[in-house]
Amino acid sequence: MATATIPQAHMLERNPGTPFDPGALEGALVNRSAVERRTATLPTRRTVKKEWQAAWLLHAIKTIDLTTLSGDDTPGTVRRLCAKARQPVRAELLHDLGLPHLRLTTGAVCVYHEMVPTAVAALEGSGIPVAAVSTGFPAGLNPHRLKLQEIEASVAAGASEIDIVISRRHVLTGNWKALYQEVRDFREACGPAHMKSILAVGELGTLKNVFKASMVCMQAGSDFIKTSTGKEAVNATLQNSLVMVRAIRAYYEQTGHKVGFKPAGGIRSAKQALDWLILMKEELGLEWMQPHLFRIGASALLNDIERQLEHFAYGRYASMQYQPLG
């Protein structure tokens, strides 16, 4: 078992979950229009400029789960990605930002199970955890038994984070007990690996369902709750993120356990990354902006952040071609 080292980014205390508590779902009162108004004004009420923005963007890099989840992934492309995760900003630019010694990596690298060994090897010694999407990602309609085996296989292969997908049908039919049991089983299968539960919010129908599914997944012991696979028609939005973040706060108030949040899918620009960081700062505070409680699942985002950093460093607009590919 290659699970010995839990990277530094993780907090010591994990969410142990709670017994299934349907009572916590009754308070699921989510007003869509009000949520939309809040998220519409979040990015207009707050902004960061100049060196503050640069600091936030550098920080954002630390929270990225640098991801490749394509059918045509090969060991070669995964190794390229891992190299980018180790060196997300080119040394020259870091130097010119006055940070030649900054040890900067992404939060994790996220791949399919088959690519876990390649990623583990490529990241050896970097402290960067490897995350594996699992449980029949993205649709989650494989046999339950096989899903558990898939988790165990990925953990055995060296993944220290497992991004599971939930069975959407349990949400859509209101079978919360079944959802709880499913996620509980996944959590046990994860063992020491941290579990991120993907709700696939774009397929849950309503924001109330998003809130309830968040609650059940946290009760079942998720370390993170995550918006999307990136494969649904609607992925991370500020609206569904706000609802999930408020569920995290409610769960923390009820149990004292801290659960992380991972928006994924469609976050491509530095501006968007800042919007999500603002969301975390406003709704949950500084601690929940740290990689042990906040990750952004993204692939193209990193290059745009580099461009913005370059603009800050040199005062002129940058071109993508100057940013090394992942």
Q: Which residues are catalytic?
A: 163, 226, 262
Q: Which of 11, 99, 178, 234 binds another protein (CB under 8 A)?
A: 99
Q: Which one, 78 or 242, has the nearer CB to another protein?
A: 242
d(CA 19, CA 124): 37
- Strands of the sheet containing 260-262, edge to edge, are 260-262, 224-226, 194-198, 161-165, 130-133, 108-111, 64-67, 296-298
Which residues, numbered 228-247, are part of the site for another protein (CB under 8 A)? 246
Binding residues for another protein, total number by CB under 8 A: 37
Cβ neighbourhood burial of 173 (10 Å; 0-12, 13-18, 19+): exposed
| Position 52 contacts another protein (CB under 8 A) | yes
Pairing between β-strand 194-198 and β-strand 161-165 as defined by DSSP bridges: parallel
Q: Which stretch binds another protein (CB under 8 A): 146-154, 183-191, 194-202, 275-283?
A: 275-283
Contact call for residue 34 and another protein (CB under 8 A): yes
Q: Does 96 bind another protein (CB under 8 A)?
A: no
- Name the residue among 188, 267, 189, 257 with its Cα closest to residue 226: 267
By CB under 8 A, tell whether 31 contacts another protein: yes
CB of 216 to another protein, least distance (A): 19
Comparison of 192 and 205: residue with beta carbon closer to another protein: 205
Distance CA 303, CA 199 (A): 27
CB-nearer residue toward another protein: 102 or 320 = 102
Q: How many CB atoms are closer than 10 A to CB 21?
A: 15
50 binds another protein (CB under 8 A): yes
- Is there a contact between 268 and 298 (Cβ–Cβ < 8 Å)? yes
Does residue 281 belong to the site contacting another protein (CB under 8 A)?
Answer: yes
Amino acid at 185: D
**Residue 289 within binding range of another protein, rule CB under 8 A:** yes
User: Where are the alpha helices (H) located in 173-237, listed in sequence order?
Assistant: 176-190, 207-219
Interface with another protein in residues 4-23 (CB under 8 A): none
What's the token pair of residue 74? 């090969």
**By the rule CB under 8 A, 204 interacts with another protein:** no
Pairing between β-strand 296-298 and β-strand 260-262 as defined by DSSP bridges: unpaired
When binding is defined by CB under 8 A, the residue of 87, 282, 311, 324 that contacts another protein is: 282
Instruction: Name residue 139's amino acid.
Output: A
In the complex, least distance from residue 256 CB atom to another protein, rounded to whole angstroms: 15
- At closest approach, how far in Å is the CB of 137 from another protein? 27
Residues that bind another protein (CB under 8 A): 29-38, 41, 44-52, 54-56, 58-59, 97-99, 102, 205-206, 246, 277, 281-282, 286, 289
